[in-house]
Structure 1
Amino acid sequence: MRTDVLHAVRLAKLDLTLVFRNTTALFTVLLLPLMMAWLFTQTQGTATIEGAPAALYVLTGVPGLIVGFAVFINLVNSFTARREELVLKRLRGGQPSAAAVMAGSALGALALFLGQVVLLAIWIRRAEGATPVNIPLMLLAAVLGVAVFGLLAAAFSGLTPNAEMAQITVLPVILVMMVGSPVAFPTNALPGALGTISGLLPVTPIVKIMRSAFLGADHYTGTGRALSALEQWTGALPSLGILAGWVVVTALLARWLFRWEPRHG
């Protein structure tokens, strides 16, 4: 067990080193979601959404974009490239267990995600004067979100024939996340069944929990009223339940679709 943990940490460090050495990956993973956040805030004006200034509402929902780029796109690219280069096959046949290999990638992605959330919090503090209210709840949402999208990335890498096709494979998921998640608007702004579907997407509970925990207000149901610490946790339970369900679904998909060796030998 201790050996697997050490291997996972070592692989996470290696993943982070490779990301920071790759200019394209660095732009996609770190800069692109923050640039998109800036563009979103430029269109909001002085309106309020669910009782919060529109720019603050958008910025506190940006973790929903970050998880798509820092975790999902990053890991689909990483898993696919390593599989085609036989790195995954060598790792599986060596000392680290399969669980350690997957955990190492997840730890690296979690570090990237949390690093960007910290940068985002600094941005929000300087631009809007707000600071996070419930950091433990934000951390729980981050861990579950990375687990869901890390497992989803593992599944999608199995559907991706090579590293060059990875950018195309991830597009449907990213488009659904950008259009259906409540980053710039509440889910009840979508008509009929679209609002219901949006509420069940795995990115939506991440956004709702992150926003509500950051602002200490009810952005679970959209009232925007201030919540006590206990109310923040109890209000998060439905969203946490959705995320837990997605962990199970994506774990089954990853087990079914993930490949350790190249698709065509």
Structure 2
Amino acid sequence: MSTLPVVPRISVPRTLRLARWNAVLLTRNRLALTYAAALPLLPLALLLGGDRGDEALGAATIATTLTMALVFPVFYNVLSQFVTRRDELVLKRLRTGEARDAELLTALVLPGAVIAVVVALAAIPVAAAFGQDLPRNPLLYVVGVLACIALYAAFAFWTAAWTRNAEAAQLTSLPVILLAVGGQLSLALPEAAQRWAELTPGAALTGLVRVTWFGLDDGRTTSSLDLAATWGAAAPHLAVLVAWTVAAFALAARSLHWEPRV
């Protein structure tokens, strides 16, 4: 068992070469590529059946799109690839060479992260074509997406620490998927339960979309925030994501296995 480096030093060219290799392996798996690149955009079709400009529907749909872009190409893809290559001793062999641990982990995340960013950016013109407004605060929207990518990558490494094999990943991934999906339902819960649900990553992502894209706050269905107000309104949601990310990386650092579990 090994831990993540405290102060990782990364060779960018070497990391990009490793990431390119990981991307090639992903493209060779047609099913995984479909789940990663095409499936996240499907929820946007729901905007066709709704009222043009319906901000509440737009926020829910885009939050679902981003959730799928984070769960499939980032979280589950990194989890399954890490566990598979750990069991095949690929990671162990790579660690005996020049590649550092941080480079191996970053290279695993990069292909899925690029897909997630592309989906997040592609959602803007697609949603606009369906009658939705452009993001109220595009910079903060992108920051939120990047924060979520870091979080779900951390979740993947944490989950891999207690996943025995690739088949078991289908079960061990469920708690994270529930945190991602269940949090989106926080607005429909009773007030007492809603306070706890808002502390989940899914609720934080939904809140960020509502604030940064539509200027929605406090469960409202019509825009109430201007550009300046979105910064303060988004701060609690970003704080939730940062807290989860720090906790997930800390737990992964304590328990990450680079060799098959016995």
Length-normalised TM-score, structure 2: 0.86
1:255 aligned partner? 253
1:31-75 residue CA offsets vs partner (Å, 9 max, x unmatched): 33333x257658x75499xxx444312222121232112211111
What residue number does 1:222 align with? 219
**Alignment coverage as a number of residue pairs:** 253
- Counterpart of 2:110, as a letter, is L
Residue pairs, 1:223-242, within 5 angstroms: 223=220, 224-242=222-240
Structure 2 partner of 1:10? 17
**Relative to 1, partners in 2 of residues 1:140 and 1:4: Cα closer, same or farther, differing over 3 Å?**
same
User: Out of 112, 115, 119, which is 2:115 matched to?
Assistant: 112
Judged with a 3 Å threshold, the aligned counterparts in structure 2 of structure 1 residues 39 and 256 are, in CA distance, closer, same or farther, namely farther
- Are the aligned partners of 1:89 and 1:261 in contact in 2 as well (CA < 8 Å)? yes
Q: Residues of 2 paired with 1:9 and 1:176: CA distance?
A: 31
Alignment partners' CA distance in 1, 2:138 and 2:191: 33
2:60 aligned residue (45, 52, 58): 58
Cα shift at 1:142 = 1.5
- State the AA in 2 paired with 1:199: E
DSSP-derived class of the 2:225 partner: coil
- The CA deviation at 1:222 is 2.4
Q: Kindly provide the CA deviation profile for residues 161-191 of structure 1, in whole angstroms up to 9, marking residues without a partner as x.
A: 111222222123223422x222xx5x23202
Q: In the superposition, relative to structure 1, how do residues 229 and 47 fare at CA in structure 2: closer, same or farther (>3 Å)?
A: closer
Q: Which moved more, 1:70-79 or 1:190-199?
A: 190-199
Q: Equivalent residues in 2 for 1:73-222 (5 A)? A: 73-178=76-181, 180-182=182-184, 187-215=186-214, 217-219=215-217, 221-222=218-219
RMSD of Structure 2 on Structure 1 (CA): 2.4
- What letter is aligned with 1:190? L
Runs of at least 4 residues off by over 6 Å: none
8 Å CA contact retained: 1:81, 1:162: yes
Q: What runs of 5+ residues in structure 2 fail to find an aligned partner? A: 1-7
Task: Measure the CA separation in 2 of the matches of 1:2 and 1:151.
Answer: 18
SS at match of 1:128: coil
Q: Residue 263 of structure 1: CA displacement? A: 0.8
Aligned AA for 1:181? G
Superposition deviation, residue 98 in structure 1? 0.9
